[in-house]
Amino acid sequence: KNIVILISGAGSNMAAIVRAAQQEDWAQRDGARVAAVISHRPDAAGLAFARAQGIAALALDHRAYASRAAFDAELAAAIDRQQPALVVLAGFMRILTPGFVARYAGRLINIHPSLLPAFTGRHTHQRAIDAGCRFAGATVHQVTADLDAGPILDQAVVPVLPGDTADSLAARVLTQEHLMYPRAVRACLQRLAALSDAPPKPPTAG
């Protein structure tokens, strides 16, 4: 079962998943591996990390494409070459077209740095602080055509402390993301495997 991870920058969540796969031996236990890391930014630092781990690392410079649809088509072709069981968005900062999302429905997940449905979109930590939230966190969810709104798979919560800045809160949340996302990825793979191994339902009578 191949996992493809899409990143935009540091890729710290991607790195956490790669390390978990190595340390927990997902290949042996789940027949799962991170097959490729893809970014729309050639300078994404996470690509160098992936290459150093011997993982295929591909940059599709989104500026080279005339439209979002053209980029998404090229991205889908690169992803499909890996025949992924699961496509993981990890710090991926692009809006995907509905056609792309539909193509991977049920095997496309994302991590968002807020306790959804609160604070969809950007600058989530500053907004939580400005709103006086006592808690913040991150959410792993299925990706649907509606931004940051798909079925929730897992959440991690952290306290917002007096004097917190967006950066101090982001760092506290990111620590929890790195624990939660690898577990969520593994759980998704096991659920998808169970679905594909399940015997076909007998036709309903009548």
Q: Is 103 annotated as a binding-site member?
A: no
In one letter, which amino acid is 110? N
SS3 54: coil
Q: Is 59 in the site for ligand GRF (CB under 6 A)?
A: no
- Whose Cβ is closer to ligand GRF: residue 38's or residue 111's? 111
CB-closest chain residue to ligand GRF: 91
The number of angstroms, rounded, from the C-alpha of 136 to the middle of its chain's C-alpha atoms is: 19
Q: Is 12 annotated as a binding-site member?
A: yes
Quick one: which of 35, 160, 177, 182 contacts ligand GRF (CB under 6 A)?
177
Question: Which tokens hold the place of 63?
Answer: 């500026």
The number of angstroms, rounded, from the C-alpha of 157 to the middle of its chain's C-alpha atoms is: 18
- Whose Cβ is closer to ligand GRF: residue 8's or residue 73's? 8
Quick one: which of 18, 37, 79, 90 contacts ligand GRF (CB under 6 A)?
90
* The pairing of beta strand 108-112 with beta strand 84-89: parallel
Q: Is 45 in the site for ligand GRF (CB under 6 A)?
A: no
SS3 40: coil
Q: Is 2 annotated as a binding-site member?
A: no
Q: Is 113 in the site for ligand GRF (CB under 6 A)?
A: yes
Burial level of 53, CB count in 10 A (0-12/13-18/19+)? middle
- Whose Cβ is closer to ligand GRF: residue 31's or residue 121's? 121
Quick one: which of 18, 111, 116, 184 contacts ligand GRF (CB under 6 A)?
111
Quick one: which of 34, 39, 91, 182 contacts ligand GRF (CB under 6 A)?
91
Could you tell me the CA-to-CA distances from 57 to 11, 16, 28, 37, 132 in Å, in that order?
A: 12, 16, 23, 5, 41
Report the nearest approach of ligand GRF to the CB of residue 128 (Å): 12
Question: Which tokens hold the place of 6?
Answer: 């899409």
Tell me how long the chain is. 206
Per-residue string for binding with ligand GRF, 114-143, x by CB under 6 A? ------------------------x-----
Q: How many CA atoms lie within 13 A of 52 on its CB side?
A: 7
141 belongs to the catalytic site: no
Q: What amino acid positions are annotated as catalytic residues?
A: 112
Q: Which residues bind ligand GRF (CB under 6 A)?
A: 7, 9-14, 90-91, 111-113, 138, 174, 177
